[in-house]
Amino acid sequence: MSLNSSYADPTLPLWREAFAGLDWLSLRFSPVFAGYGIERGHGEAVVLVPGIFAADASMIELSGWLARMGYRPYASGIGVNAVRTETAIAAVVATIDRAHAETGAPVRLIGHSLGGVIARAAALRRPDRVSQIITLGSPVNGLSAHPAVLAAAQLIHREDIDACLATVQQPLPTNIDETNMYSKTDGVVDWRTCHRPDATAIEISGTHTALIANAAAYAAIASTLAARALRSRTQRHGVGARRALPASAHNASTIAA
């Protein structure tokens, strides 16, 4: 099966990605970036996984912000996400093991685009060491992307794409919270493939490229991380384990296709 013909969607507005810089500027001048109204973390480990052809350094804005908000961010260990899928997954698994050993607690994962798919695959291999996954514009429920992006992906991902998707998009264990953030103005990946019916879905306004530098995404990330932390503390103290979700979250099953 041809990767390009089977999964290509030429109607995706790739031109919108030219406005990614505006998302970044809006973030820099937002109260969220300054930390106003953001609940702080308590040193929880958060592994950041970059998108296709992006380096760990592409997540530096998000990493620095998470550190200021009280979390302990880790680079994925991939370096540049231009390697075979199996190589990338192995690198993230190794980082999960290191973060878990250093903090003595379950790890959170945040993945952008293909990085979210890789994060899910790594969590499936370490379900006892991961407590939460947040994906940003990641095709976690099938694949439909712009032909130009798929052509570039074909250069490094030569394995059977169907087998790869079947492996990395399996449902996660129930002990791992999953939140899928997506944008309906995504010019790279069809937003309908970026959320799963068994996960919490949050719509973000902005470009695909700048979901890692988007004020609304940062606010949603903060509330999602805090909700999971509250749930963990509640469970540790023996109180009812009622699922706590951000006010902005809604279940993916309620989204109109």
Domain regions of the chain by residue span: 3-254
For the full predicted model, state whether its pTM sits above 0.85: yes
Neighbours of 236 (CB within 10 A): 8
pLDDT in tens, the chain (257 residues): 445 567 888 888 888 899 999 999 999 999 999 999 999 999 999 999 999 889 999 999 999 999 999 999 999 999 988 788 888 999 999 999 999 999 999 999 999 999 999 999 999 999 999 999 999 999 999 888 888 888 777 776 655 566 667 777 788 999 999 999 999 999 999 999 999 999 999 999 999 999 999 999 999 999 999 998 887 777 666 644 444 444 444 443 333 33
Domain 3-254 falls under CATH 3.40.50.1820:
yes
Cα(159)–Cα(50) distance, integer angstroms: 20
Residue for token digits 């059977």?
160
